[in-house]
Amino acid sequence: MSVNVLDRPDAADLARRHDDLLRREPKLRQRDIAERLGVSEAELLAAGLGRHVVRLQPQWPSIMAELPTLGTVMALTRNDHCVHEKVGTYKAFSVNGHVGLFLGEAIDLRIFFQCWRFGFAVTETGKDGEKRSLQFFDGQGRAIHKVFLRPESDEAAWRALVARFAGGAVGDVRLEPAPAAPAEQPDDRIDAAGLRAAWDALQDTHDFHGMLRRFGAGRVQALRLGGIGRARRTTVGALRAILERAAGDAMPIMVFVGNPGMIQIHTGPVSRLLATGPWFNVLDPGFNLHLREDAIDTAWIVRKPTVDGDVTSLEMFDAAGGTIATLFGKRKPGMPEDPAWRSAAHALPSVPVAQAAA
């Protein structure tokens, strides 16, 4: 059953609780505020609460096509356990059906528009002046992607974009029930031999997802069933170890973070690493990563054949089997894998599949 934001709870009660919470904890971020108040981020924005919010028409590819006019901005994509922030410009946009691509050197995105439901232009006023953004959400009100203006951004282009695509009642956010997660088949119902043969015949890393669908296997399940030479489990400390290795050796890497509506990619070096509580962070100019190490349930070193040779990834999953982040060595189609990356990945310790991660 659809739910209207103003009915759960009413706007006045939500505003009161919001203000009380911020008086007690003024540094809380929007996502955390929404969680504490028992509403989604989209509902929180739609209620206003001290922000100037404009509802955007659901013309997602057309809106994305205008983002290059904004100049340098900060792009943010996250899931429950990881936040990926890139500073740069949106360039080279293309779209094929419900899938969009940005292939710029800084902002590199894979966009799955079938998940997009709500978009807002947001102006917040704080001690540092006005902060402007575009924010996009799925049917459950969860953030898919956000675009934050910076001092050097083209504010006039932002205003023109908002004026062109404004439409719809801000408060009329009707949430959809979350889609049921597909039930994973028991291992003995998976054609493991066929899966391994198809795996060995891969020509492109992008074909891996289709292979999983064909055999009805979950991703972590397939890694378990893949066998020696295709996937091996490593420790949950592998993320920190390989980022420290990359920083120490000035080794360029690729960091993929996504959700059902977006994948955002960093390609290049990492330098400034910092652990703060459960979060392990990359805090470089132009690229920030914030990942909760305590959310990593399993981590795997995965080999996928391609026409350019084997490609090695470090893949991290939460307890529900959801992907937190995936790391590769820097590469492009037509190029072999960086031997330094492969060596670093192979040097990570192994954990027997039946043993709990350490």
Q: How confident is the model at residue 49 (pLDDT cuts 50, 70, 90)?
A: low
Say if residues 1 and 177 touch (Cβ distance below 8 Å). Answer: yes
- Token pair listed for 113: 């528009």
Q: pLDDT digits over 306-344, tens only?
A: 999 999 999 999 999 999 999 999 998 889 999 999 999
Q: How confident is the model at residue 173 (pLDDT cuts 50, 70, 90)?
A: confident
In sequence order, the 6+-apart residues with CB closer than 8 A to the CB of 163 are none
Identify the H or E element spanning 325.
strand 323-329
Domain borders along the chain are: 3-91+116-175, 187-346
Q: Is the pLDDT of residue 4 over 70?
A: no
Q: Is the pLDDT of residue 270 over 70?
A: yes
Q: Mean pLDDT across the chain, nearest whole number?
A: 92
Please tell me the CATH superfamily of domain 187-346, with its number. HemS/ChuS/ChuX like domains (3.40.1570.10)
Scan for tokens 């807002």, then name that residue: 120
In sequence order, the 6+-apart residues with CB closer than 8 A to the CB of 230 are 196, 199, 200, 223, 302, 303
Count of Cβ atoms closer than 10 Å to residue 5 Cβ: 24
E-only strand ranges, 106-142: 108-112, 116-126, 129-138
Q: pLDDT digits over 9-47, tens only?
A: 577 788 788 888 988 998 888 899 999 999 999 998 888
Q: How confident is the model at residue 354 (pLDDT cuts 50, 70, 90)?
A: low
Q: pLDDT digits over 287-301, tens only?
A: 999 999 999 999 999
Scan for tokens 């089997």, then name that residue: 321
Q: How confident is the model at residue 124 (pLDDT cuts 50, 70, 90)?
A: confident
Q: Is the pLDDT of residue 159 over 60?
A: yes
* Alpha helix ranges (H) inside 59-154: 60-66
Please tell me the CATH superfamily of domain 3-91+116-175, with its number. HemS/ChuS/ChuX like domains (3.40.1570.10)
Q: pLDDT digits over 220-235, tens only?
A: 999 999 998 999 999 9
Least confidently predicted of 21-25, 117-121, 171-175, 345-349: 171-175
Domain 187-346 in the same topology as domain 3-91+116-175: yes
Cα 18 versus chain centre, distance: 27
Angle at 317 between CA 241 and CA 30, to 5 degrees: 95
